Amino acid sequence: MPAVQLSRLAQQIDVLVWQFTRPADFLLRLRDLFEYYADRVFKAGQAVPPETMAPAFHIPPIIMRQLEVELRQSCIQHPAAAFALADVLWAESMLEYRVLATIILGLIPLHPPEPVLERIRAYATPRTDSYIIEALLKNSGRSLRREAPDLWIMLIESWANAPSYPNQNMALKAIMITTQDEIFKNFPPLFRIFSGILQVGPSALQAEMQITLMALLKYSPKETVYLLRQVLLLTTSPTTQRLVRLSLSHVPPEYQNSLRQALQSHLPYD
Q: What is the pLDDT of residue 40?
A: 64
Report which of 105, 113, 164 is spatially closest to residue 136, judged by C-alpha positions: 105
pLDDT of residue 41: 58
Question: Whole-angstrom Cα distance, residue 252 to residue 224?
Answer: 11
Q: Name 267's Cβ contacts closer than 8 Å, sequence gap at least 6.
A: 232, 236, 241
The contacts found for 3-6 with CB under 8 angstroms, 24 or more apart, are 4/37, 4/60, 4/62, 4/63
- pLDDT per residue over 149-164, tens digit each? 999 999 999 999 998 9
Q: What are the residue ranges in the chain where pLDDT is below 70?
A: 1-2, 40-51, 266-270
Provide the pLDDT for residue 270: 42
How many angstroms separate the CA atoms of 241 and 263, rounded? 7
191-223, pLDDT tens digit by residue?
999 999 999 988 999 999 999 999 999 999 999
Residue type, 225: V
